[in-house]
Amino acid sequence: MPTINEALLKLKDSKFRAGFHLSEKEREYVADKGMDTVRKHAQDFIRTRLAPAYPPNDGKQTPMRGHPVFVAQHACACCCRGCLEKWYKVPQGKALSEIQQEKIVNLLMAWIAEETRNED
């Protein structure tokens, strides 16, 4: 996987990925719960919805809204195994390692941090 900064820059070049932003409600959620809690949610979502070799409902398992991590997953192309393969060359059909999961969570949290700093 590229570095976080490399990935974020590349994602900004995609009109689709760059179109995702946190809503005011999602920004408030992050402010109320704190980044540590949001990180725990991200770790859980990635572990249960993305890390298995064959996630249930792959390609449809990540809602578009409703939680800051879901929005970040779409913005960062970490929403399904197909996007992970296309953007980061992570092969489908093989469970994600703990290191891969950690890198994904770190990318999502960097995107969320950037979104909460920038009041568009």
- Output the CA–CA distances (angstroms, integers) from residue 12 to 7, 21, 99, 101, 111, in the order listed: 9, 12, 24, 22, 11
Q: Is the pLDDT of residue 9 over 50?
A: yes
Q: What is the pLDDT of residues 30-76, one digit of tens each?
A: 999 999 999 999 999 999 999 999 999 898 889 888 899 999 999 99
pLDDT of residue 19: 95
Residues 6+ apart with CB under 8 A from 16: none
Q: In the structure, what pLDDT confidence band is assigned to residue 119 with cuts at 50, 70 and 90? A: low
